[in-house]
Structure 1
Amino acid sequence: MAISGGFIIGAISNKKCLVDKKIADNVTLCNIISITLIAGIGIIGFTSILMLISANTSEVFFELSAFESNYLTSYTAPDRETTLIGTGLIDVRLNFINEDRKAYAQTANESVDHTDSNLNVPQIPMPNVTDPNLKVELVASDLKYPTTMAFVGKDDLLVLEKNNGTIKRIVNGNLLDEPILDLNVANKIERGLLGIDVARQTLDNATGEKTYVYVYYTQAIKDGDDMCSTFTLCNPLGNRIYRFEWTGNELINPNLILDLPVGPGADHNGGVIKVGPDGNIYALVGDGDSCWEDKYCSTSTYEDSVVNAESSNVPTGNPPDGRGGILSISPFGEPMLGGENKTTGILADHSPLNKYFAYGVRNGFGLAFDPISNKLWDSENGPGYGDEINIVEPGFNSGWLRVMGWWPVENAQPLPPERGYFGSKMVTIPNNLETFADKGRYSSPEFAWNMSVGVTALEFLKNDTLGSQYQNDLFAADYNNDYLYNFKLNEDRNRLDLDGVLADKVANNNAELDDLVFGQGFGIATDIREGPDGYLYVLSHIHGNLYRIVPK
């Protein structure tokens, strides 16, 4: 926090100095004063963080995510570049502790592989699950900030590495040395290589059924070329979805099927994608908003920001541009037809609004289809309060920026000093929503956290391999607590089966989550997948590990 404080104080003093002097000759002096302040406070803060890390790494993660959400600070050593990024959700980085990841990953016997004897890092215990009849196994390690994964065969899966743009392959628990594919990605804050899914489909009757791989990433001319101070000079090419063919060893024949705008800021990109039971591709795309602080939007005002949009429930705002919702497209990038006589998109007949399956989404990292009802569920992240789990019907309006969870949004960019909504208002039907000629419909969340936990991945477990009590349950993960959750659904599969203190669909504090906690300590799970073997696989963003939950 002291590091962020140094930057904030330095920025304020610099601005004050320049305002007071108002002559160009004093700009250099002002900058020197500001840099001195930043360096002094920054060194103290950096030293404090190192002390905290040696004592308790998880506390550092919590501190950054809970209280410094959306702040970016950088530290550069002569031999490496280090970035601490606290988005409040996903991207807290401690690269300077272990750049090559090897000494930070558990081996199969739960020890630490100290490939560098001079590297002083904490022992990382294996994750745990609450069911005494289950255990956690380490499948693979040495991944670098993985985001999502998808199986291309039994004991054969592809994993995305966010910052490198590399798609790695794990076969029978072995991480192959060479990536399957290396893509050029912009990787600032929440940009990067973000989403993947796989499907066996027949897209051409002449060639028959093939395995197709869909990838969502922030495309750039070269890796990391958005890491500069002037947004207009280094904006990425776009947030894009490509369809590849999987030959069994290679990804070939890339086809661009969705091209979305990106910028001016670098967060709220979403990126999770799933191939639905209907064969369409569903992508959760954040609202693209980084305008909570002037430096992320240059001189733009709120009226010029991307969140001032009809898709964010501003009826007088800008037309939708593909962000702030869940999009549904065919494998060829065409809109999913709905509306009257199935001849138009769900909300409109023109692009890109005809691609929206849902809107009013701030940001999120979880999509999952119920294996029984085929209904889509999502997870969404609030601004310090109001994280959600929703059932998503066609035309669903999630309510942002009028409501998050059950609580009103009273400021376009609320960044509360602490997590939680502490007002007295609750909202069941928000006012002044955009309905797109009554084709959009708002519904309240099926579950909400008053204090944001940074909910991430979702997955349904359709098999009974872990026990019949878990079959067809919904599993979720979060950032701040590093929990895995187990949610049961009611018989009609249209809501979560909640009782006791959670009967109101709200977790007011962590104590109320106890009955939902299934596991803990996975190192920020950014993806959960059921494998072909029926076991639950969990991808650790911070540890760089792939875990599997199996019976004892």
Structure 2
Amino acid sequence: MKLHYSTYFLICFISFLSCAQAKKEKASKETYQVVVPELHIPWGFVFLPDNSMLITEKKGELIHFKDGKKTLITDLPEIELRGQGGFMDLKLHPDYINNGWIYFSYASPEGEGEGSNTAIMRARLENNKLIDKELLYKANPNSTRAEHFGSRIVFDNNGYLFFTIGDRGDKDTNPQDLTRDCGKVYRLHDDGRIPEDNPFYNTPNAKKAIYTYGNRNPQGMKIHPETGEIWTHEHGPKGGDEINIIKPGKNYGWPKVSYGVNYIGTKITDYTELPGMEPPIHYWVPSIAPSGMAFISSDKYPGWKGNLLVGSLKFQYVSRCILKDKKVLSEEKILEGLGRVRTLVQGPDGYIYVGIENLGIVKLLPED
């Protein structure tokens, strides 16, 4: 496996803007248990039918965690570690127990141009090796830029495969151009075929797999457990992180509309909304740098059923979003100060599991 480290500068900033939505600043009393220790950047993880776990480490490792032991899976594709890119999300096929397909996203150097771009692959697991590897989608061209690879994966209730790819730091070219990859949400059949009813399938020169466009860098995506709708969140610039509900063919506005500004404080746009562009159902100013999300559909946490959880990389907490009629009424910070929250999963036991950088995967325990 090739791991290429490029120079990557994180821009730190302080925002004095006020938040656009009501928040509860009180921290909760929930506690946690570390179930998988000593992980660096656990980008994605899934539970296998035997309750063991598969975990992606951004640096390019796939870990099988079972009975307290970590085993590295071999025969991975070529993964390039470049800034925010590396080994990213992971999902099981809805019928995994019968077909064994595992889906994952990663920064791939294959294809046109220097650098890398987001790829979606499926494979099966046998004797701690990946076999039957199939590349389903590869964004082109490659880029040497270090930011905005996306990339979350979900299956909807009809068995379609959805995934996100960020704008790769090229806001003026990629997100609004249907002939180019990046800054989009995509839809495929589970075997990589492009559905003929995709919204731009018959649009001349368009990338036929595109489902929505005008997206900046979505790093959260989940299916609503009651409505079946696809919810995402995405990073804004300095301010303007968003929660969106994904609808076919819609334009989510980036960079023509935004609640944020450039990192140096200059304007990106004069508009927070425009005709023909989908507004977010919620946004954050200042930005929290959201990553990972999960709906609570179990009864493990009294009074929390129906809530949405969103991880914060920047402020190192989980935001419990109380929802009503597709609006965030208020937020409560939980699991503060443990580290950058990368991903959240409701496990088969109904408990919430949280991947936290430089810590591991923790299980959120209800208040006594």
TM-score normalized by structure 1?
Answer: 0.58
Residue 484 of structure 1 corresponds to 318
Distance 1:337 1:136 in 2: 45
Which residue does the alignment assign to 1:459?
A: 294
Aligned to 2:45: 149
1:342 equivalent in structure 2: none
Paired amino acid for 2:175: S
Query: Do the aligned partners of residues 523 and 272 (structure 1) sit closer, same or farther apart at CA in structure 2, a change above 3 Å counting?
Result: same
In 1, Cα distance between the equivalents of 2:95 and 2:191? 12
Please state which structure has a larger fraction of its residues in helix. 1
Query: What one-letter code is carried by the residue in structure 2 that aligns with 1:272?
Result: R
SS in 1 for 2:208: helix
1:346 aligns with 2:199: yes
Q: Are positions 1:329 and 2:193 aligned together?
A: no
Aligned to 2:20: none
Matches within 5 A, 1:126-145: 130-132=27-29, 134-145=30-41
Does residue 239 (structure 1) correspond to residue 118 (structure 2)? The answer is yes
2:341 alignment partner AA: A
**Aligned-residue offset at 1:260:** 1.0
Kindly, what percent of the aligned residue pairs are identical? 20
Deviations 1:38-74 (A, max 9, x none): xxxxxxxxxxxxxxxxxxxxxxxxxxxxxxxxxxxxx
Q: Counterparts in 2 of 1:388-427, with a 5 A limit?
A: 388-405=242-259, 414-417=262-265, 427=272
User: What is the rounded CA distance, in whole Å, between the counterparts of 1:472 and 1:182 in structure 2?
Assistant: 37
Out of 140, 145, 158, the position equivalent to 1:265 is 145
SS of the counterpart of 1:365?
strand
Distance 1:86 1:242, change over 3 A: same
- 1:134-172 C-alpha deviation (Å, 9 max, x unpaired): 420011112232211111235311111112x11001124
Would you say the 8 A contact 2:6–2:146 is kept in 1?
no
1:270-316 deviation per Cα after TM superposition (whole angstroms, max 9, x unaligned): 12111222211111101122xxxxxxxxxxxxxxxx5443x533xxx
- Asked whether the equivalents of residues 257 and 271 of structure 2 are also in contact (C-alpha less than 8 Å), the reply is no
Give the equivalent residue in structure 2 for 1:108. none
Q: Is the alpha carbon distance of 1:87 and 1:374 closer, same or farther for their aligned partners in structure 2, counting shifts above 3 Å?
A: farther
The one-letter amino acid paired with 2:105 is Y
Match of 1:523 in 2: 339
1:255 corresponds, among 106, 110, 134, to: 134
The match for 1:86 is: 10
Name the CA distance, whole Å, in 1 between partners of 2:182 and 2:294: 23
**Cα distance between partner residues in 2 of 1:528 and 1:399:** 27
Aligned twin of 2:65? 170
Structure 1 pair 403/201, CA: closer, same or farther in 2 (3 Å)?
Answer: same
Q: Which structure has the greater CA radius of gyration?
A: 1
- How far apart are the structure 1 equivalents of 2:180 and 2:286? 30
Residue in structure 2 matched with residue 372 of structure 1 by the alignment: 226
C-alpha distance in structure 2 between counterparts of 1:171 and 1:478, whole Å: 28
User: Is the Cα contact below 8 Å between 2:92 and 2:101 reproduced in 1?
Assistant: yes
When structure 1 is superposed on structure 2, of 360-369 and 240-249 the one drifting more is: 240-249
1:452 is displaced (CA, Å) by: 1.6
- Read off the aligned partner of 1:267 and give its amino acid letter: E
Whether the 8 Å contact between 1:370 and 1:472 is mirrored in structure 2 is no
Mapped to 1, the partners of 2:47 and 2:206 lie a distance apart of 30
Aligned-partner SS, 1:443: coil
- Distance in 1 separating the partners of 2:125 and 2:353: 22
Tell me the CA shift for residue 426 of structure 1: 5.6
After TM superposition, the structure 1 = structure 2 runs for residues 29-178 of structure 1, keeping only pairs within 5 Å, are 85-86=9-10, 130-132=27-29, 134-163=30-59, 165-172=60-67, 174-178=68-72
RMSD value, Cα: 3.0
Gaps of 5+ in 2: 14-25
Distance 1:466 1:321, change over 3 A: same
User: Which residue of structure 2 lines up, in the alignment, with residue 218 of structure 1?
Assistant: 107
In structure 1, what is the Cα distance between the partners aligned to 2:228 and 2:294? 13
Distance of aligned partners of 1:546 and 1:87 in 2 relative to their CA distance in 1, 3 Å threshold: farther
Once the 2 structures are TM-superposed, how far is the Cα of residue 478 of structure 1 from its aligned partner?
1.1
Letter aligned with residue 312 of structure 2:
D
2:189 is matched by which residue type in structure 1? S
Q: State the one-letter code of the partner of 2:186.
A: L
- The answer on whether the counterparts of 2:6 and 2:82 sit within 8 Å (CA) in structure 1 is no
Alpha-carbon distance in structure 1 between the residues aligned to 2:268 and 2:183: 26
Mapping 1:285-300, distance limit 5 Å: 285-289=165-169
In the aligned structure 2, how far is the partner of 1:175 from the partner of 1:361?
39
Instruction: Output the CA distance in 2 between the equivalents of 1:324 and 1:82.
Output: 22
For residues 175 and 143 of structure 1, what CA distance do their matches in structure 2 show? Answer: 13
Kept in 1: contact 2:200–2:206 (CA 8 A):
no
Distance, in Å, in 1 between the alignment partners of 2:52 and 2:69 is 10
